[in-house]
Amino acid sequence: KNQVEQSPQSLIILEGKNCTLQCNYTVSPFSNLRWYKQDTGRGPVSLTIMTFSENTKSNGRYTATLDADTKQSSLHITASQLSDSASYICVVSEYDYKLSFGAGTTVTVRA
Amino acid sequence: DGGITQSPKYLFRKEGQNVTLSCEQNLNHDAMYWYRQDPGQGLRLIYYSQIVNDFQKGDIAEGYSVSREKKESFPLTVTSAQKNPTAFYLCASINRDTEAFFGQGTRLTVV
C-alpha cells in the first residue's frame, strides 16, 4: 500500500527561527508532490508542487526539496512568523487523480 | 469568485440519525472527493467521483453514501450505520494538475 510518512509529528520554534519538515513516501507511480498548509479548523491550501524532475521549489519563505531517487521531500520554513503556526501536510499524487496524504506536522511558532 | 463551499461548518447528529453534508464547487473540476480527518491521522478517503453520475468507494466508505447528479455538487450522507461519525470532514475538487482545492470543512459531532 502506498504510504506517506512525515516527521516530526509536531515541533515548537521561536519566532524568527528556521525549521525543516520531512516527508518520505513509497507512492508509485509518482506524478507530483505537494506541500499543503492547514490552519486549525480550515481546509488545506497548496504551498508548493514538484514533479519528478524538480529538485527544489520556493514560495516566499517556504522552500521544498525533492529527491525522487530516495523518495524524500522536505519543507524548509525560513524566519518563521506567528502566522506559520499550522499543520503542514505532504501529499503525493499518482497519475489517476489518486492522492496519498501524510498525517502532517504541526508547527507552533512562539513569540 | 471561484471556489469550493462546504456547509454547514458545524453539525450535530443524534444517535440513529442520518445527516447530509453539502459540497458545491464552481471551479468546473470533474473530480470531487470526500475525506475524513481525525486528530493525529492523515486524511482518509471516503468516496470520490471523477464524472457526473459516477462515484467510487474510498478506503473508509462504510456507513457513508454520496450522489453526483450535477458536476458542481457532491453531497455526503453520514448514515446511522457509521458507528463513529464524530470527525472533521473535508470536501475537495481536483484539477487536471492534481491540485486539490479544499472547502473549509464540516465538523460533525454526535450528541
- Rounded to the nearest angstrom, the gap between the alpha carbon of residue A44 and the centroid of all alpha carbons in its chain is 11
Q: A14 touching B, CB under 8 A?
A: no
* Inter-chain residue contact A43 with B102, CB threshold 8 Å: yes
Instruction: Name the band, by pLDDT with cuts 50, 70 and 90, for residue B2.
Output: low
* A63 pLDDT higher than 90: yes
Asked if residue B107 lies in contact with residue B9, where contact means CB atoms within 8 angstroms, the answer is yes
A43: closest CA of chain B, how far (Å): 5
All residues of chain A having their beta carbon less than 8 Å from the beta carbon of residue B43 are 89, 101
* A2 pLDDT higher than 70: no
pLDDT, residue B96, reads 79
When the pLDDT of each residue in chain A is averaged and rounded to a whole number, the result is: 92
pLDDT, residue B41, reads 78
Residue type at A106 in one-letter notation: T
* Tens digits of residue pLDDT in B78-106: 999 888 999 999 999 988 777 889 999 99
* A96 pLDDT higher than 70: no
B33: closest CA of chain A, how far (Å): 10
Q: B60 touching A, CB under 8 A?
A: no
CA B59, CA A91: separation in Å to the nearest integer?
16
E strand intervals along chain B: 4-7, 10-13, 19-25, 31-37, 44-51, 54-57, 64-66, 76-78, 87-94, 100-102, 106-110
* B63 pLDDT higher than 80: yes
Instruction: Name the band, by pLDDT with cuts 50, 70 and 90, for residue B1.
Output: low
Residues B66-87: what's their mean pLDDT? 95
Higher-confidence residue of B15 and A76: namely A76
Q: B33 touching A, CB under 8 A?
A: yes
Residues A64-76: what's their mean pLDDT? 95
* Residue B50 dihedral angles phi and psi, to the nearest 5°: -105, -5
Residue type at B67 in one-letter notation: S
The closest of A108, A109, A78 to A9, measured between CA atoms, is: A108
* Tens digits of residue pLDDT in A11-58: 999 999 999 999 999 988 888 899 999 998 899 999 998 888 899 999
DSSP-H helix ranges across A1-111: none
Asked if residue A25 lies in contact with residue A33, where contact means CB atoms within 8 angstroms, the answer is yes
Q: Give the chain B residue nearest A106 (alpha carbons).
A: B40
Q: A70 touching B, CB under 8 A?
A: no
Instruction: Name the band, by pLDDT with cuts 50, 70 and 90, for residue A100.
Output: confident
* Inter-chain residue contact B99 with A34, CB threshold 8 Å: yes
Q: B74 touching A, CB under 8 A?
A: no
Q: A104 touching B, CB under 8 A?
A: yes
pLDDT, residue B86, reads 94
Instruction: Name the band, by pLDDT with cuts 50, 70 and 90, for residue B31.
Output: very high
Asked if residue A80 lies in contact with residue A60, where contact means CB atoms within 8 angstroms, the answer is no
Cα distances from B44 to residues A62, B7, B15, B40, in angstroms, run: 26, 20, 23, 12
All residues of chain B having their beta carbon less than 8 Å from the beta carbon of residue A93 are 98
